[in-house]
Amino acid sequence: MNQTTHFFNLGYGWLCKHCTAANTEQKHHHHHQHEAHRNNPLPLAKWVEEGELRGLMCPRCGIAEPVSRR
């Protein structure tokens, strides 16, 4: 499985599609308040396992998605 609804697999971790798109947008618009943030690589999604929820969560925007890890 290389992709879910909100995340895609880079091989070494998962990245949030929304943040990736937003990050790409930011690179095209040079906003000064985002200048420092622009050059930072995006944080990889974290595996969340709380009760019934097993899935991925983006540490940047907080979006989460249940994913079955096989």
Q: Does 7 score more than 90 pLDDT?
A: yes
User: Minimal CA–CA distance to 18: which of 40, 45, 49?
Assistant: 45
For 1-70, strand residue ranges (E) read 7-9, 14-16, 46-50, 53-57, 64-66
Q: How many residues does the chain have?
A: 70
Read out DSSP for 57-69?
Answer: E-TTT--EEE---
Q: Name the pTM for this structure.
A: 0.71
Mean pLDDT of the chain: 82
Asked if residues 7 and 17 have their Cβ atoms less than 8 Å apart, the reply is yes
Q: What is the DSSP letter of 52?
A: T
